[in-house]
C-alpha cells in the first residue's frame, strides 16, 4: 500500500457540463459538498468563472452554499480564457473582472489562489512571467495540481444514462472513473519518485460536474483504501517542491508533475487502456442519444 497525501480542488464553479433531469447544477454542487462532509474534508478551493453569473445570476446560490459549508473560492479568470488566444493585458483584465465577483468571499485569513484555465501558463517565457508578475503583485499564489483524472469525459454518457435509467451502464461508468483516478494517482506517485526522490504532497484537479457529484465519493473511498490522507491546498503548496519556479512554456496545458517531467525529458509512461475507452464512451453517448430521441418522439 503506497500512502499519499492529497489536496482536493474543484474547477469551473458554479456550473460545468451537462445536467440531467434528476441532477441540476445546484444538486451537483450539493452532492459534491456532501461527499466532502462524508470524508471530513474541509476548506476545499473551488475555482470560479464569473461569466456564468451573467446568464444565470441564480447560480450565485451555489457559491454561497460552497462558502457556507466551510469551503473556499479561488480565481479561474472571468470567462475561462484560453491564454493562447489572449494577450497578457486581456488575460490580466479577465482575472480582474473575476475579482469583482470574488471580492466579497475573500477574507483576511483567506489566501488568494489562481488556477490557469486549461493549465495553460503561456507559450513564451515573457508572457508567462508577465502574468505571474501580475498575479504575485495582486497577492495571488498559483494553485498547481499533480493529479487530473479527466473526470469530465464521463459526464455526457452519465447524464444520458441517468435520464434513461440505464443503471448497469452507470455502474460501468463508475468503475471506469474510479480505475482511471487510481491510475492517475499511481502515475503521479511514480513520476514524483523519479523527479524528486520522494512522494510530494499531491493536488487533485476535478470539475464541478455530474461525474464528480455521482462518483467522487467512490474515488475518494478508493483513495482512502490506499492509505490516502486528505490535506488542505495551503498545506500541499507549503511543501518546498512548489517554491521552486518551474519555467515551463508550452502551447499545451500540463500539470505540475508533467511540466517537470517534460523539462527533465523523462520518458513518457504510456497510459494503459481504460476499462472504458474514449471511443467506447463516445459510442455509448451516441447510442443513448438515439434512444433518448426515440423516447422523445413517441
Q: How far is the CB of 180 from Zn ion (least distance, A)?
A: 19
Report in angstroms how near the CB of residue 16 gets to Zn ion at its nearest.
Answer: 8
Angle at which helix 25-38 crosses helix 210-225, to 10 degrees, equals 10
Between 10 and 228, whose beta carbon lies closer to Zn ion? Answer: 10
Least distance (Å) between residue 98 CB and Zn ion: 12
Classify 238 in phi/psi space as left (phi over 0), alpha (psi -120 to 50) or beta: alpha
Contact 47, 10 (CB under 8 A): yes
Least gap, CB of 267 to Zn ion (angstroms): 29
Could you give the C-alpha distances from 192 to 22, 223, 255, 256, 273, in angstroms and in order?
40, 17, 12, 10, 22
Applying CB under 5 A, which residues contact Zn ion?
11-12, 117
What count of other Cβ atoms lies within 10 Å of the Cβ of residue 45?
A: 26
Q: 262 forms bridges with which residues in the sheet?
A: none
CB of 147 to Zn ion, least distance (A): 15
Q: Which is nearer to Zn ion, 74 or 176 (CB)?
A: 74
Looking at the Cβ atoms of 201 and 209, the one nearer to Zn ion is 209
CA-only gyration radius of the chain, Å? 19
Q: Residue 118 CB, nearest distance to Zn ion (Å)?
A: 7
Instruction: Give CA angle at 39 (152, 278), nearest 5°.
Output: 20
Q: Determine the longest span between alpha carbons in the chain, in angstroms.
A: 61
Q: Which of 16, 110, 129 is nearest to 62 (CA)?
A: 16
Query: At closest approach, how far in Å is the CB of 276 from Zn ion?
Result: 23
Closer to Zn ion by Cβ: residue 12 or 148? 12
User: By beta-carbon distance, which residue lies closest to Zn ion?
Assistant: 11
Comparing C-alpha atoms, which of 11, 110, 19 is closest to residue 67? 110
Residue (114 or 230) nearer to Zn ion, CB: 114
CB-nearer residue toward Zn ion: 46 or 117:
117
Nearer to Zn ion, 80 or 128 (CB): 80
Cβ-contact 48, 101 below 8 angstroms: yes
**Phi and psi at residue 51, in whole multiples of 5°?**
-60, -25
Amino acid at each position: 500500500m503506497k500512502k499519499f497525501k492529497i489536496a482536493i480542488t474543484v474547477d469551473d464553479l458554479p456550473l460545468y457540463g451537462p445536467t440531467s433531469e434528476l441532477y441540476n447544477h445546484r444538486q451537483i454542487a450539493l452532492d459534491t459538498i456532501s461527499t466532502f462532509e462524508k470524508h471530513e474534508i474541509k476548506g476545499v478551493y473551488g475555482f470560479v468563472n464569473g461569466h456564468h453569473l451573467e446568464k444565470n445570476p441564480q447560480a450565485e446560490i451555489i457559491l454561497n452554499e460552497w462558502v457556507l459549508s466551510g469551503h473556499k473560492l479561488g480565481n479561474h479568470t472571468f470567462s475561462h480564457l484560453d491564454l493562447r488566444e489572449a494577450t497578457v493585458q486581456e488575460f490580466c483584465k479577465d482575472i480582474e473582472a473575476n475579482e469583482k465577483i470574488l471580492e466579497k468571499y475573500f477574507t483576511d485569513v483567506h489566501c488568494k489562489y489562481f488556477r490557469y484555465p486549461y493549465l495553460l501558463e503561456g507559450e513564451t517565457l515573457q508572457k508567462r512571467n508577465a502574468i505571474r508578475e501580475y498575479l504575485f503583485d495582486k497577492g495571488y499564489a498559483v494553485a498547481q495540481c499533480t493529479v487530473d483524472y479527466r473526470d469530465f469525459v464521463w459526464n455526457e454518457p452519465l447524464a444520458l444514462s441517468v435520464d434513461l435509467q440505464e443503471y448497469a451502464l452507470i455502474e460501468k461508468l463508475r468503475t471506469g472513473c474510479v480505475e482511471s483516478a487510481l491510475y492517475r494517482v499511481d502515475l503521479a506517485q511514480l513520476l514524483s519518485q523519479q523527479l524528486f526522490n520522494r512522494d510530494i504532497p499531491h493536488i487533485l484537479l476535478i470539475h464541478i460536474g455530474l461525474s464528480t457529484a455521482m462518483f467522487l465519493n467512490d474515488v475518494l473511498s478508493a483513495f482512502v483504501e490506499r492509505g490516502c490522507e486528505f490535506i488542505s491546498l495551503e498545506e500541499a503548496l507549503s511543501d518546498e517542491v512548489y517554491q521552486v519556479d518551474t519555467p515551463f512554456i508550452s502551447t499545451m496545458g500540463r500539470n505540475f508533475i508533467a511540466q517537470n517531467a517534460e523539462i527533465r525529458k523523462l520518458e513518457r509512461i504510456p497510459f494503459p487502456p481504460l476499462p472504458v475507452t474514449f471511443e467506447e464512451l463516445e459510442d455509448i453517448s451516441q447510442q443513448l442519444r438515439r434512444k433518448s430521441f426515440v423516447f422523445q418522439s413517441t
